[in-house]
Structure 1
Amino acid sequence: MDWIGIELIVGVAVVALLLILLWAYRVANRLDRLHVRTDLARQALVAALDRRAVVSRAIAVALRERDDAGLVALGVELAGAADLAEAAPFDDREDVENELSILLGKVGAATKGITPPPVELIAEISDAQTRVIMARRFYNDAVRDTLALAGRRAVRWFRLGGHAPLPAYFEIVDRVTV
């Protein structure tokens, strides 16, 4: 082989290597941005869940001020569930949030026909529930996108995700009606 042939082969190999490195850099950068997006969505979800717990405590206080013993007991139980939900670490929060959702559904059923209805609390909990639903969807969308890219064979082989732990979906009952 002459020098021109060797130079051409080396040149093609260098260009191919540069293209592979550029692809790997772009994929690793995209995966990093997806992890950031997931972290931000997680923070928004935690904030929405915390807000729902605060509104649940306000509902519990309103229930404990009623003359009905059943509503007072439900208010005490709701306050305890809200405290547990807010104090739970994120990885263990699904179960306690489901319990809180079930209790909120029971409150809705138990307070039908009560006069005067707590209009401002109904609006607050409805808004808090809607924000939780939206935040959970955004978080789960970010998790789905992150897992889709991180699960590609080439990404795993070249360890383009580094050592970042993979996120997990957050599944809770959106609204409970009893």
Structure 2
Amino acid sequence: MDGIGIGLIVVAAVVVVAVLLWAYRVANRLDRLHVRTDLARQSLVAALDRRAVVARAIAAALRERDDDGLQQLGTGLARLADEAEATGIDDRENVENELSVLLGKVAVATKGITPHPTELIAEISDAQTRVILARRFYNDAVRDTLALAQRRPVRWLRLGGRAPLPAYFEITERVSA
């Protein structure tokens, strides 16, 4: 072999090693992003479940009132909270939106009266804030994961493995009736 042939082999080897190193780094980054998305999803589910528990406590307080309208709101709120917890995260968006709307109606219906203890008002406010933050963190993780996973070289080389692509979780953040 002459000098040109060896030079071409060395250049080809360097290119192959560089591509392999790039692919390894991208696959590792994509794996970390999937882990981040999974953790953010768990946090979102926990925040949604906590909000459902607080909504159920508010519903119980509303059903103890003498007002039929508040009792009906409490019954509907309890039903939606139960349905939200029983529904899987993939199908939960619609139920959570309905729960948000009903919580907004409860806030309007109870304005000026105190149908539930002050602790529940603080709890539901905190739970709503945690849901908003958890949803934002989850959607940020999904955005970052999708941005990397949908690049052509990443798809062509199947660097994402068999992991399914995550989906955004879109719900109404705050509802005022």
Q: TM-score, normalised by structure 1?
A: 0.97
Out of 147-156 and 109-118, give the one that drifted further.
109-118
Tell me which residue corresponds to 1:135: 134
**Deviation by residue 1:129-170 (Cα, 9 ceiling, x = unmatched):** 000000000000000000000111111111111111000000
2:9 is aligned with 1:27: no
**What is the CA–CA distance in structure 2 between the aligned matches of 1:115 and 1:126, rounded to whole Å?**
15
Displaced runs of 4 or more, over 4 A? none
2:145 is aligned with 1:146: yes
**What is the CA–CA distance in structure 2 between the aligned matches of 1:74 and 1:116, rounded to whole Å?**
12
- Size of the aligned set, in residue pairs, is 177
Tell me which residue corresponds to 1:167: 166
Q: TM-score, normalised by structure 2?
A: 0.98
Tell me which residue corresponds to 1:13: 12
**What is the CA–CA distance in structure 1 between the aligned matches of 2:143 and 2:4, rounded to whole Å?**
47
Unaligned runs of 5+ residues in structure 2 are none
**What is the CA–CA distance in structure 1 between the aligned matches of 2:121 and 2:57, rounded to whole Å?**
11
| 1:19 to partner: Cα distance | 0.3
Tell me which residue corresponds to 1:50: 49
**What is the CA–CA distance in structure 2 between the aligned matches of 1:18 and 1:117, rounded to whole Å?**
66
**Deviation by residue 1:99-119 (Cα, 9 ceiling, x = unmatched):** 100110010001001147631
Contact 2:62–2:116 (CA under 8 A) maintained in structure 1: no
**What is the CA–CA distance in structure 1 between the aligned matches of 2:155 and 2:96, rounded to whole Å?**
33
Q: Give 3-state SS (helix, strand or coil) of 2:175's partner.
A: coil
| 1:4 to partner: Cα distance | 1.9
Unaligned runs of 5+ residues in structure 1 are none
Alignment of 1:58-137 (within 5 A): 58-115=57-114, 118-137=117-136
**Deviation by residue 1:40-96 (Cα, 9 ceiling, x = unmatched):** 000000000000000000000000111101101110100000000011011100000
